[in-house]
Amino acid sequence: MTSESQPGKRGGRPIQLIDTEGDDYEPSTSESSPLLGAGAGQQDDTNNNNGPPKSTWDGAADFEGLPWYHRPSVYWLIGPYFLFTLAFGGSLVPKLNLIVDLVCRQYFADRQLVDPAFTFTPVILGSDNPQCNVPGVQKQVATFTLVISVLTGLLSALTAPKLGSLSDRYGRKKLMVIASCGGVVNEIITILAARFPESIDYNWLILGAFFDGITGSFTAGSLLSHSYTSDCSPPSKRGVYISYLHACLFTGLAFGPLLAGYFVKWTGSLLSIFYVTLGCHVAFITFIYLVAPESLSKKRQRLAREKYHAEQAAAAEQLQSNLPGFLARVAGRRAAGFLNDRAGTGTWLAALLSANPLAPLRILAPGGRGHAPLRRNLMLLAGIDAIILSTAMGSGTVTVLYSEYMFDWGTLEASEFVSITSLVRVVVLLCIFPVVNYVFRVRPLRRRQARQHRQQQQEQREAGAAATTTTTVGVVETNAGADDLDVWLIRLALSSDLVGLVGFVFVRTPGLFVLCGIVTAFGGIGSAVIQTSITKHVPAERVGSLLGALGLLHALGRVVAPILFNGLYAGTVERFPQAFFVLLASLFGLALLASLFVRPHLYLKEDNSGSGYVAVPVRDSGNASDAETLADEEMPMTAMQIKGSEVALNKDPD
């Protein structure tokens, strides 16, 4: 609302500023705060009185005036990201079959070396090899795939957060390319091992897993894509755009193996699918590097680097000032003085502490006495997201095994079940969620904008303002934390998952089992909304680091979840095979309980003025020199205020 006490006047007229702490707060539009109107380049569109000012977003200011092919958008990313997920999902089953054939081939060859009289049917890569269905082969395959999964998961847990943090300072595109380069190397090694099995041992696949993990694997590619989307989408539409990426993910995971199976059958070669996945990675890298615009401007990258270096210097200085006393107590004053003076203790110790593999999680716990509610929000949302992604990545295999065991399903029935549930998720993400977002978020925002414009016109008429000079304030969307719609969508999604999982425990017929799967599919919106909401809690220059911390949790979940779920199912399948779903229901029940403590409208904001004013008017005048004078005289003051800002917790009134 317009503040009653104006900070100053100009030319006899009060400068109207916007108080975001006012009484007219509307929960449905909490993501947009009335801020500075359109810039000089947009005066014709926003500062005239022919219609309400357009809703803008401060993140788009760096790209104003650029042609469309230089402006970042989520639509640049949807096609390449679909290829990226298709390469990930399409190679899962063929690669598992390839490993079985290679291990089986080596297993029988080793037995023949021990016993020259031993004979076996030759193993043909990509064909049905029933001779491989023996316990010895299955045991080696299980061990080998576990080694690959753990290695990839642990390495991506180390590198994904680093890539996310680096992307804040050096741009998203370069790091997205690096994340996919590991997949290229992995596919090349896989092709060589499959094409020359006599010369290249299957253990070389571990080297491919190493390169895949050290570049972040699918985890880093996914979080960097979400960071790109967050950079180029306003808060009111960010959830919809991220849901597009999740729809690509579920489509790739669901139909990738199915398309791969048909492709292998059509070509008659298992090796052909790995050429396709290699082509998908190369196409992704080429398009992102050469075609897609960078989502972070050079200015934002420079500011993020400066802020990072300042934080590192402050941490080193604090360590250097506090460490001598500790060393004096432990090693004596002389040793403490030597280490402090000769070894640059603060510098190398700060670097050592930053190498802590769990250090990226610190962004989930911002310091400060007044940040306790924000810390709770970030930790709860990160924990809920980790549960959703870990169960999604680790429970699929066990769910298929359970359905085949209980209902005597074959490959066709199991594939149809996975395709149906995934298709429902895609429909929810692409159709239902955008409608809900428009009805409950975008439309109220436009109504508020129109109402504000009418109020401004009425005030100008009452004040007798002439047409020569007017002050128009537009609606600029800013991060303001998760709003009420976000919180309720998260709770509804978790409730849907919980109901479906409880149904899995009790149903004993295929039809009801599929129905429960459809119910859980409606919860697919949960992860998209959570990742959208959590990006609204921090400034733009911290989004990459925040999503990097989520990537660390996702990577650890990729390691722990399969071990936990597969081990539980193997231990209980003979007595109570539904124990696996009891565990899943318990985890989602815990997540639903945690969501009840998530509070809306909490966020970190770069503002130390304490005034609550976050807008500066742009005066539209028929005289061009007036506009230039105002820009020259007033805008530097705003820049100085921004430059001197520090992180402070802001909470919009309920």
CA 494 to chain centre: 18
Is the Cα dihedral 308, 311, 313, 315 positive or negative? Answer: negative
pLDDT recorded at residue 147:
86
| Separation of alpha carbons 509 and 267, rounded Å | 37
| Alpha carbons 444 and 440: distance in angstroms, whole number | 7
Q: Which residues, in sequence order, are CB contacts of 72 under 8 Å at separation 6+? A: 63, 228, 231, 232, 292, 293, 294, 295
Bridging pattern class, strands 475-477 and 32-34? antiparallel
Identify residue 385 by its one-letter amino acid code. D
CB contact at 8 A, 252 and 276: no
Secondary structure in 3-state letters for 65-129: CCCHHHCCCCHHHHHHHHHHHHHHHHCHHHHHHHHHHHHHHHHHHHHHHHCCCCCCCCCCCCCCC
Q: What is the DSSP string of 514-534?
A: HHHHHHHHGGGHHHHHHHHHH
Query: Does residue 121 lie within any of the structural domains?
Result: yes
Q: What is the pTM of this model?
A: 0.70
Amino acid, single-letter form, for residue 168: D
- Residue 285: strand, helix, or coil: helix
Q: Which residues contact 494 (CB under 8 A, 6 or more apart)?
A: 384, 523, 526, 588, 591, 592, 595
HSE, CB side, 13 Å, CA atoms: give it for residue 250.
Answer: 27
For the chain, the straight-line distance linking the first and the last C-alpha, in angstroms and rounded, comes to 15
Residue ranges making up the domain that contains 493: 75-298+376-437+482-595
The residue type at 262: Y
The Cβ of residue 84 has, within 10 Å, a number of other Cβ atoms equal to: 29
Q: Which residues contact 338 (CB under 8 A, 6 or more apart)?
A: none
Q: Do residues 447 and 279 make contact, with C-beta atoms less than 8 angstroms apart?
A: no
Q: Which residues pair with 525 in a beta bridge?
A: none
Is residue 210, in this structure, part of any structural domain at all? Answer: yes
Distance CA 176, CA 232 (A): 16
Instruction: Give me 371's structure tokens.
Output: 């940040």
Question: Of 243, 546, 559, which Cα lies nearest the Cα of 379?
Answer: 546
- Of 370, 360, 377, the closest CA to residue 536 belongs to 377
Q: β-strands 56-57, 475-477: how paired?
A: parallel
Number of domains in the chain: 1
Q: What angle do CA 119, 121, 123 make, to 5 degrees?
A: 125
The CATH number covering residue 178 comes to: 1.20.1250.20
Burial 575-592 (b: 16+ CB within 10 A, else e): eeebebbbbbbebbbebb
- Residue 472's φ and ψ, nearest 5 degrees, are -120, 130
Comparing C-alpha atoms, which of 256, 567, 520, 526 is closest to residue 398? 567
Q: Is residue 551 in a domain?
A: yes
pLDDT of residue 56: 58
| Cα–Cα dist 371/493, whole Å | 27
**Cα–Cα distance for residue pair 602/654, rounded to 1 Å:** 11
Q: Which of 323, 271, 332 has its CA nearest to residue 125?
A: 271
pLDDT means per 10 residues, the chain with 654 residues, are 39 39 37 39 43 57 83 91 85 80 85 75 75 78 83 89 90 93 94 90 93 91 90 84 87 74 78 89 95 90 88 73 54 49 50 67 80 90 92 82 82 77 89 90 81 80 60 59 90 96 95 95 90 86 85 86 84 88 96 95 61 35 39 36 39 41
Complete edge-to-edge strand list for the sheet that includes strand 56-57: 32-34, 475-477, 56-57
Dig out the tokens for 319 from the structure.
């360590």
pLDDT at 477: 65
Q: In this structure, is residue 273 part of a structural domain?
A: yes
Radius of gyration for the chain, computed over Cα atoms and rounded to the nearest angstrom: 28
- The DSSP result for 234-246, as a single string, is -HHHHHHHHHHHH
Alpha helices in 268-297 (DSSP H): 271-290
In a domain, 353, yes or no: no
* pLDDT score, position 428: 92
Residues in a beta bridge with 19: 613
Alpha carbons 74 and 228: distance in angstroms, whole number: 8
Instruction: Give the pairing type, strands 9-10 and 56-57.
Output: unpaired
Q: Is residue 460 part of a domain?
A: no
Q: What are the φ and ψ backbone dihedral angles of 357, each rounded to 5 degrees?
A: -60, -20
Task: Decide: 350 and 315 in contact? Cβ < 8 Å.
Answer: yes
In terms of phi and psi (left: phi > 0; alpha: psi -120 to 50; beta: otherwise), the region of 439 is alpha
Looking at residue 634, its amino acid is E
Cα–Cα distance, 137 to 132 (Å, whole number) = 6
What are the backbone angles phi and psi of residue 39, rounded to the nearest 5°? -75, 180
- Rounded-to-integer distance, Cα 135 and Cα 119, Å: 18
- Flag whether 351 is in a domain: no
| Inside any domain, residue 113 | yes
Q: Determine the residue type at 312.
A: Q
pLDDT (tens digit, 9 = 90+) per residue, 164-215? Answer: 889 989 999 999 999 999 999 999 999 999 999 888 888 999 999 999 999 9
For residue 102, give both structure tokens: 């290679």
What does the alpha-carbon distance between residue 534 and residue 379 come to, in Å, rounded to a whole number? 10
Per-residue pLDDT of 470-525, as tens digits, reads: 555 455 666 678 889 999 999 999 999 999 999 999 999 999 999 999 999 999 88
CA distances from 429 to 236, 239, 426, 533 (A): 16, 10, 5, 16
Which among 209, 223, 225 has a CA at the least distance from the CA of 284? 225
